Amino acid sequence: MDLELRHLKVVSAIAEAGSLTRAATGLGLAQPALSAQLKRMERALGGELFVRGPHGVRPTELGELVLERARLLVPAVAELQEEARRFSRRRAAGGGGPVRYRLGGTHGPLLGGLVDRLASACPAASVTTYTSWSSRELAGLVAQGRIDYALTGVCGPSRPPSVAGGAALVWRRVATDPVFVMLPEGHALAACEEVPLEELAGACWTNVPGDGCFAECFAAACARAGFTPEAVYETDTASCVHLVQVGRAVGLCRATFPPTPGLVTRALRGSPLMWRHVLGWHPDSPAAEVAETVLAHARAVHTSAAELSPSYTRWRRLREAAP
């Protein structure tokens, strides 16, 4: 006899009731029938599951082992069944979109904003996230069907990440921003609307890591400005902010970086570095059906983030007013 989910439910019912008689009543079975079923299970598992006594039954060590697994498996299967029913009901009713959004993203404010917009627009949907410093990893996860969308970015005109094995993803532009510099509030250049890159020749730098060409593009921009960076500390966003706040480094950031105590963000003169936000998905996946809607949400999130950055807003107004 192969062990099935119904057998685990029987074992759980016997343990909870504490007697075969009460368990049989709860399961709607005759007590002899339940006893016979239990004996078949015990033969299949190679030992007794319960010790019988005058006051009922209690689990053996083998019984405790089976019960431990049953407590995990029975609720998990029940949850799976209910989720499948909800999915089928939604599809049958023409619910208009997926019941889940599995989002992957790199560092930055857009991923959180996209989660918020999707959760608000589709309250019945499941929205989950996966973050990585590697845009290539995210592209691979989309190709494998482990996430639905990759929200990442590329340097300037560079191509989005490709996937080994020839899986062709669809990539669409969300927005393109200049790369700004983070300076301590008291920095000599903090009052400038645009900072000449060459004026930062003696500074140490900090930036978040990644596997694209941004590091090479930054090094090339510095070379054109006539210097080599003293040091570049690659670390998480919070550590980058701290290094700038204490005056240990100046930082590279997206133009949409939110206002933060202790530092200012400023454009680099001439915009020597650009960052293109992109959203990717697999063209043959169910996610492709609503990809344009997700893309529209991502673009709206970027617009909101840009409006919340005073320095970026001011810089864009100056550019629009320029002859």
Is 214:283 a contact under the CB 8 Å cutoff?
no
The strand pair at 205-207 and 250-254 is best described as parallel
Within 13 Å and on the Cβ side, how many CA atoms surround 28?
0
- Tokens 């029940």, residue located: 78
Q: What is the pLDDT of residues 159-194, one digit of tens each?
A: 898 876 656 899 999 999 999 999 999 999 999 999
pLDDT at 93 over 70: no
The pair phi, psi for residue 146, each rounded to 5°, is: -85, -25
Output DSSP code: residue 317.
H
Rounded to 5 degrees, what are φ and ψ at 135?
Answer: -70, -30
What are phi and psi for residue 283, nearest 5 degrees?
-65, -20
Tokens describing residue 188: 């000599």
How high is the mean pLDDT of the chain? 89
Domains in the chain, start-ordered, CATH in brackets?
5-92 (1.10.10.10), 100-174+275-321 (3.40.190.10), 178-274 (3.40.190.10)
- Residue 90 confidence (pLDDT) above 80: no
Kindly tell me the sign of the dihedral angle through the C-alpha atoms of 185, 190, 196, 200. Answer: negative
Q: Tell me how far apart the alpha carbons of residues 270 and 19 are, in angstroms, rounded to a whole number.
A: 81
